[in-house]
Structure 1
């Protein structure tokens, strides 16, 4: 069970934490032109390196180093094949919705699950040597690497899922509702965290960015700020709920309302603001309740 949690955590880190917007864009651009070929120039291979390296943390907790390397190579290969097929399908169909995103992640996790069952690696206590030949009279110059509790691993996975991954889900939901018109302010999209493809920029944002209206032009800085606002917002909600401090969530709403006071006077803008905020809070509350149940 713990091996599976380590692998899932490594997958989330590689797919959502370490993968940059630029890498996501490079993959999409490559498959628009060369969607049937795999070459050394394919940006997908860079992503594969991130996936492979992220799983090497297993060496700190498990024996059978060669078996771990073989397992992680097989998982990475499967990951790349799934991404490759998904990118071909989405580029050919010109669609990249929540269904494709969910199916892709399900296949990744299913592949990881089967790999964790097939490969038998055993946990062992590992140590780090201090200062080369330095010897301590207490532990002979060794520091014991502590085993990470299952509850801690589960909590970290939930934090990533309901803060970062949830941003991608929110983007697909809002994009499905066709939130693009001349009355939509850029800040509504920022607060709602309209993202796509593991934190990338959505089609909605791209349409706004190329708009002839100066007020609707979204700079890259504003995009990044908007994404960070949403992630921090959900992290705070998760922490407050897990701690049972439900009233503290009112501070987040108060700050957001104050900073967007002028925008909220417009009915259309306020509706989009409310929708994005409610979705963000929903994921944050669910994540907090799961962590609270896990640690109780």
Structure 2
């Protein structure tokens, strides 16, 4: 079988670096080009230094408009501008990793309908899609913890979420809160109750439970580590712990990467993998759900490859059988 030709727009960031690594090691694809205006002509491994010895590709200043799959790794708001200026073959499938097309109000753009690319929710639609809006990292972790409850129509009360992300969640551009001297031995919250991923979280909850009208209170935090998301949420739950476990196991029984653990979980179990691991705990009338992912993989590039695999009928885990950095 001929390999798929793939291309990446915006190749210098953390997300693109992981996507390049995954595509170089994917048996079904060929990485045709990586487009970068700031690094055109430079060896890819000069920027993504972990790829030295893996590829001699250089960042391209030209775009192949005939590739089979195009990944957009652009800053939020830039994917729309890029697609307005560039036209691709009608056979080119597009997977956008920004937030430009995730909400229902933005899903149709210049005749293209973007499907929200959370495989555990929209697998059948993804299989038929030509255009994918890849979910956000916090949104992936939080939705994975919430959706079984929404599916069972048992979200009746406010949800309280506390989640921490690693430094790579802020991207490669420096700011006051990304310098080592600020981040090291430090911890802080940001965008309390207003984080941009709340839109897609509420949207998918209402997709499964249309009468949900309570508050989702989200406190995002910056952690003193490089990668990963550790999220905890709780809400009132009338059933038993065994009821909850049965509900989650049923919801994720065919999920390739989402696992419900009976043991308490920690971040090192998922870093460098496309897994989402969940743990459930009942305290009096509250259900506590812990959710962990790698923000750059299941929260971004790994999920994008998972979506590509579904779109082309490949094994869902193709190119994603990765071992965690446990030690």
Q: TM-score by structure 2 length? A: 0.29
Structure with more of its chain in helix, by fraction: 1
Q: TM-score by structure 1 length? A: 0.31
Structure with more of its chain in strand, by fraction: 2
